[in-house]
Amino acid sequence: MKSRSSWAEPYKIKMVELLKMTTLSQRKKAIREAGYNTFLLRSEDVYIDLLTDSGTSAMSDVQWAGMMRGDEAYAGSRNYYNLEKAVREVYGYTYLVPTHQGRGAEHLISSILIKKGDIIPGNMYFTTTRLHQELAGGTFRDIIIDDAHDAESEHPFKGNVDLGKLEALIDQYGSEKIPYVCIATTVNMAGGQPISMSNLRAVRELTAKHGIRIIHDMTRVAENAYFIQQREPEFKRKSIARIVREICDLTDGATMSAKKDALVNIGGFLALNDQETFEEARNLVVVYEGLHTYGGLAGRDMEAMAIGIRESVDQNHMHARVGQVEYLGQRLQAAGIPIVLPIGSHGVFLDARKILPHIPQEQYPAQTLAAELYIDAGIRAMERGVVSAGRDAKTGKERFPKLELVRLTIPRRVYTQAHMDVIAESVMRVYDRRSKIKGMEMVYEPNYLRFFQARFKPL
C-alpha cells in the first residue's frame, strides 16, 4: 500500500449546505418507513450521503458562472457548440448527441446497434447498461478477468478484459453476432477498478481484426486515466488529459454519464466517430430525449458540463479526488474491515459476505449492512450485490453474484476529511456488533432495476 503525503483539496469552500442531525430513534423510524432500502430514504434524513457519486458533485464557481450563460434556445444553443468543442478537444470523439444522462445514451446506442439474438461482451455489467442491451434483444456476456470477481485480489487493473474469454465468444458466435464490445472505464460494479492501457490496446487489436466496434462507457474515464498514470510505468510522466485522449482514441464511440467525472448534477451524451451511426442517433434522440442540440438538457446544463469536462482532467483535482477515497479506504483497512482491494476511484466497497458471513445471500447481506450503517450514524450507502444483480432475463431466477458489496460512494468535492473519519468510525461500530445483525426478506419487488424501489423486512 502506497502512502501519500497529502491529498489536500485544490479549492476552498465558498458556500455550505446545512445538514439536519438526527437521533437514533428518528433513523430507525426513517429506515423502517423506507422499507430498509436506502434509495427510499428522504435525503434530508441523511447526514453523510454516500449513496452515489452520480450528480452529487459540487460545481466550481466557474461552472456556476457558466450556468448564467445558458442559452435556452430550443435549437442551436451556443452551449451545445461549447459542449461539442469540449468533447472533441478533451475526448477526441467527432460527433456528439447530448442526452439527459448516461442511460439515455445507452438506450440510443443499444437500439441502433443491437439486433435480437446479438451478444454484447463487456468488462462486467452495469445495471442500466445491461438492461438496455437486453431490452434491445441482446445478451450481455461478462469478459472481465476472474480477479475482478474476487474482492481480495490486489490486481492493479481488475477492470481488464480476459482476451481468452472475448476470443472464445467471437469463435462461438462469429463477429456478425457481436455488434460491439462494451468497455467501461473504470468498472463500477467491480469496485471502481481500472482497465490498463495495454489491455485496452490488446482489446482494440483483437476487435479490429474481426471488425467489431468498441463502445466505451466513459463515465469515470479520468479516474481510470489517473490509475494508469500511477500504475502503468509507461504513463508515469503523461498528463491525465493525454491518457484520457489515448483511451478514447482506442474506441469507436462512447456513452457518458456526465454526472460523475464531468462534475455536473445532470447530463450525459453519446459520442461517435462514425457518421452513419451518428445520423441515426441524432434522428432517434428527438423521439426520446429532445432536439439534437439539447437532448433533454437545459443550455446551462450543457455549459456546466463543457467546463466540468475540462476541470475533470486536472492533475490536482484527480489527486485529491482519488486521495480522499484512498484515505477512507486505508482507515477501514487499518481497522481490519474487509473491503474490496485495491481501493477504487469513486468509493470504498465493503465486503458484506465477509462482514456478515452468517447471513446467506438469499437474505441480502449487503442490503442489510447498508440499512445498519444508516441506523448507526445517518450514513447512506448503496447495496451492490444480489439485489442490484436482479433476475436472469431468461430463467427469472435471482442472480447470485460473487461480489456482495456495500458501496460507500464519495461525491466529488463535497465532504471533508472529518466526514471521512465519521464514516470510518461508524463502519467500525457496525463491524463490532456484526454477529448480532440478522438478514432480511424482500416484501416488494419491481420488474426492472429492482434495487431502486424494492422493500424489505428484517427477519
Please list the active-site residues.
74, 126-127, 217, 260, 384, 451
CA-CA-CA-CA torsion for 21, 26, 28, 33, nearest 10 degrees?
A: -110
* Cβ neighbours of 9 (radius 10 Å): 17
Please report how close the Cβ of residue 257 comes to ligand F0G at its closest, in angstroms: 3
Residues in the chain: 459
Cβ atoms of 186 and 159 closer than 8 Å: yes
| Of 245 and 384, CB closest to ligand F0G | 384
The secondary structure element, H or E, covering residue 256 is: strand 253-257
Please report how close the Cβ of residue 346 comes to ligand F0G at its closest, in angstroms: 8
| Of 54 and 251, CB closest to ligand F0G | 54
Helix (H, G, I), strand (E, B) or coil at 34: coil
Cβ atoms of 30 and 41 closer than 8 Å: yes
Burial class (CB in 10 A: 0-12, 13-18, 19+), 25: exposed
User: In the chain, what is the straight-line distance between the N-terminal and C-terminal CA atoms, in Å?
Assistant: 39
* Cβ neighbours of 20 (radius 10 Å): 12
| Of 39 and 173, CB closest to ligand F0G | 39
Residues near 246 by Cβ (< 8 Å), separated by ≥ 6?
A: 197
Please report how close the Cβ of residue 25 comes to ligand F0G at its closest, in angstroms: 29
What does the DSSP assignment read for 209-248?
HTT-EEEEE-TTHHHHHHHHHHH-GGGTTS-HHHHHHHHH
Please report how close the Cβ of residue 408 comes to ligand F0G at its closest, in angstroms: 12
| Of 259 and 450, CB closest to ligand F0G | 259
Per the listing, cell 490536482 goes with: 316
- Written as nine digits, the cell of 327 is 484515505
| Of 257 and 312, CB closest to ligand F0G | 257
| Of 181 and 437, CB closest to ligand F0G | 181
Residues at the contact surface with ligand F0G, assessed by CB under 6 A: 52, 54, 101-103, 126, 128-129, 184, 188, 217, 219, 257, 259, 268
Please report how close the Cβ of residue 407 comes to ligand F0G at its closest, in angstroms: 8
Please report how close the Cβ of residue 363 comes to ligand F0G at its closest, in angstroms: 24
The pair phi, psi for residue 289, each rounded to 5°, is: -115, -50
| Of 11 and 39, CB closest to ligand F0G | 39
| Of 253 and 268, CB closest to ligand F0G | 268
Q: Which residue is nearest to ligand F0G (CB)?
A: 102
Burial class (CB in 10 A: 0-12, 13-18, 19+), 94: middle
Burial class (CB in 10 A: 0-12, 13-18, 19+), 432: exposed
Cβ atoms of 96 and 77 closer than 8 Å: no
Closest of 305, 281, 283, 233 to residue 87, by C-alpha: 305
Closest of 223, 280, 285, 212 to residue 251, by C-alpha: 212
Please report how close the Cβ of residue 429 comes to ligand F0G at its closest, in angstroms: 25
Provide the CA 20 distance to its chain's centre, in angstroms. 27
Please report how close the Cβ of residue 237 comes to ligand F0G at its closest, in angstroms: 28
